[in-house]
Amino acid sequence: MKRHCVVIALALLLPVSGSALADVITVSGHGQSYDPGIALSDARADAVGKCSAQGGTPVEEIYNHITRANLWLADSIWKCEVP
């Protein structure tokens, strides 16, 4: 009887184990433009593109920064879930 319960418990955990194998990594993107909104948009697109290139799914943006030099310079860091 105890062995039967263990088999059932393992069968129930099987669908959950696939999502447990995914790793969460961080990716960063950079952008620059004469317009701050475009620079930040380019930085986000760059980070999402790097995540997708690894076969991952962007989860959320965890940090962004924009600064003024001769151009607006932007950075964006994202959590990315990869299989």
Domain that holds residue 49: 22-82
Split into its structural domains, the chain has a count of 1
pLDDT in tens, 18-47: 555 679 999 999 999 999 999 999 999 999
pLDDT at 63 over 90: yes
Tell me whether residue 6 is in a domain: no
Tell me whether residue 10 is in a domain: no
Tell me whether residue 9 is in a domain: no
Tell me whether residue 69 is in a domain: yes
83 touches 24 (CB < 8 A) = no
Give CA–CA dist 59/51, Å, rounded: 10
Tell me whether residue 51 is in a domain: yes
Average pLDDT over residues 45-55: 95
What CATH number corresponds to the domain at position 55? Answer: 3.10.28
